[in-house]
Amino acid sequence: MPRVLLLLPTATYRAPDFLAAAAALGAEVVVGSEQAQTLAGAMGDRALTVPLDDPEAAVEAIAALAGRRPLDAVVAVDDQGVLVAALASGRLGLPHNPPEAVARTRDKAAMRAALARPTGTGRAARQPDYRVVAAGADVAVLAAEVGFPCVVKPVSLSASRGVIRADDPGAAVAAAERVRAILADAGQPVGEPVLVEQYIPGDEVAVEALLRGGILDVLAIFDKPDPLVGPYFEETLYVTPSRLPDAVQARLSEAVAGAAAAMGLQEGPIHAELRIDPDGEPWILELAARSIGGLCSRALRFGTGMSLEEVILRHALGLPVDAQREQAAAGVMMLPIPAAGTLREVKGQDGARAVAGITGLEISIRPGRPVRPLPEGDRYLGFLFARAASPEAVESALRAAHAHLEVVIDPA
């Protein structure tokens, strides 16, 4: 029986899906989390406290566990664990990404610098012009060098948190101040650099892929039908297969492969965000050494019904992988939080579930919990899922189901 350590941050949405995938493979799971597991005593070596914010200590704990009984794979399910997984896999002699490459994916300034270097093709990745703004630097001047409109963002956060469009120098200064407040709220150093980037107009897409020995296998391209023009960049609809022309999709795949090579990544899942300019050329916005976040992976099925999590675990364990996506169109809507306050209830759920094509609705925040929209917020209200014969039908089902929902929030 293969044995896999799953690095599961306590705040992750994804534990049930990865555990279900491991069970489908007959793999024994060791749960690694930054907080001590309630049943750790009863679970013995099937639970491990892993300080994800201290990679060296985390690797020592994992190595000690593997010394008692070997591990066949170490898999991070979210951003917080990717560096620890790479370091631990290297220590144990398992296939892995170079830790320095993974570290670049966790720092947007380092990512931009890596993407600016030419790869084997002799070309650098197409990406926005950018400036790294150190604490105390003149944001307005650096933003003007990039040009307006621009995008101000933290180098360390994810899921669009703290990402703000600015249309003039004053807005850029205000956005940077707001980003630093968000960093403080997230427990990050307020003195860390802020990134100012050129705003790229055009459609936005997400690419889900798997690296095997440095070769990129694109699993799915998601269209994002809702325009993402700012001032904040709250994602909602993801629909696959893409309705873009085949030539544009080929350029997207080539761009992601080149970006992964520029970053130095070799193995495992890739999640990339790109813009397509009016000329049909792709621009790299983000590249992560992990799979799609939240519960969005539930929109994907491969082979004879495999989940994305099973594909990832099969690759990590060296098992055969059928990465051909199912024929049906599918999609997910990340339900936005409309206002700050305390969630009272979400009405209309039965009506939303009854819409033709809807396959699931998960409200991931319990009533009575505080909620905040982007750019301060760090999560979505929940997820709607749909399957249908065409991308157009999927999009229509998701919009119709969302129209049934009424989110009741007591103001802050």
Q: What is the pLDDT of residues 49-66, one digit of tens each?
A: 999 999 999 999 999 999
Exposed e or buried b per residue across 248-272, where buried means at least 16 C-beta atoms within 10 angstroms of its C-beta: bbebbbebbbbbbbbbbbbbbbbbb
What value does the mean pLDDT of the chain take? 94
Instruction: Sort strands 341-347 and 237-240 into parallel, antiparallel or unpaired.
Output: unpaired
Percent of the chain with pLDDT over 90: 88
Q: Could you write out the DSSP letters of every residue in 202-230?
A: SEEEEEEEEEETTEEEEEEEEE--S---S
Q: What is the pLDDT of residues 244-286, one digit of tens each?
A: 999 999 999 999 999 999 999 999 999 999 999 999 999 999 9
Q: Which of 150, 201, 148, 199 is nearest to 176 (CA)?
A: 150
Name which residue leads in pLDDT, 41 or 155: 155
Tell me the average pLDDT across 292-319. Answer: 95
Q: Which of 154, 215, 163, 213 is nearest to 187 (CA)?
A: 154
What pLDDT is recorded for position 149? 98
Exposed e or buried b per residue across 140-156, where buried means at least 16 C-beta atoms within 10 angstroms of its C-beta: bebbbebeebbbbbbbb
What pLDDT is recorded for position 36? 66
Sorted by where each starts, the structural domains of the chain and their CATH numbers stand as 3-97 (3.40.50.20), 129-198 (3.30.1490.20), 328-412 (3.30.470.20)
Which residue type sits at 139? V
Res. 38: pLDDT tops 60: no
Helical (H) or strand (E) element with 188: none
Cα–Cα distance, 74 to 81 (Å, whole number): 10
What pLDDT is recorded for position 190? 78
Q: What is the pLDDT of residues 98-122, one digit of tens each?
A: 999 999 999 999 999 999 987 766 6
What pLDDT is recorded for position 42? 41
Range from 142-146, 172-176, 302-306 carrying the lowest mean pLDDT: 302-306
| 199, 151 contact by CB (below 8 A) | yes
Res. 123: pLDDT tops 80: no
| 218, 206 contact by CB (below 8 A) | no
Res. 412: pLDDT tops 80: no
- As beta bridge partners, residue 371 has 341
Tell me the average pLDDT across 342-365. Answer: 98
Residue 159 token pair: 């899921």
DSSP 3-state of 163: coil
Q: Which of 130, 133, 95 is nearest to 111 (CA)?
A: 130
| 251, 308 contact by CB (below 8 A) | no
Confidence of residue 159 (pLDDT cuts 50, 70, 90): confident
Kindly tell me the burial class for residue 362, based on how many C-beta atoms sit within 10 Å of its own C-beta (0-12, 13-18, 19 or more).
middle
- As beta bridge partners, residue 238 has 332
| 148, 128 contact by CB (below 8 A) | no
Euclidean distance between the first and the last CA atom of the chain, given in angstroms as a whole number: 51
Cα–Cα distance, 107 to 287 (Å, whole number): 10
Q: Could you write out the DSSP letters of every residue in 270-295?
A: EEEEEEE-TTS-EEEEEEESS---TT
Instruction: Sort strands 370-371 and 341-347 into parallel, antiparallel or unpaired.
Output: antiparallel
What pLDDT is recorded for position 40? 44
Which residue type sits at 140? A
Helix, strand and coil in the chain, % to nearest 5: 35, 25, 40
pTM of the full structure? 0.94
Q: What is the pLDDT of residues 182-237, one digit of tens each?
A: 999 989 887 899 999 999 999 999 999 999 999 999 999 999 999 999 999 999 99
Look-up of token digits 């704990």 = 61
Q: Half-sphere exposure of 362 toward its Cβ, with a 13 Å CA cutoff?
A: 15
Q: Half-sphere exposure of 268 toward its Cβ, with a 13 Å CA cutoff?
A: 30
Calculate the CA 385 to chain-centre distance.
Answer: 17
What pLDDT is recorded for position 120? 65
What pLDDT is recorded for position 39? 40
Cα–Cα distance, 122 to 112 (Å, whole number): 17
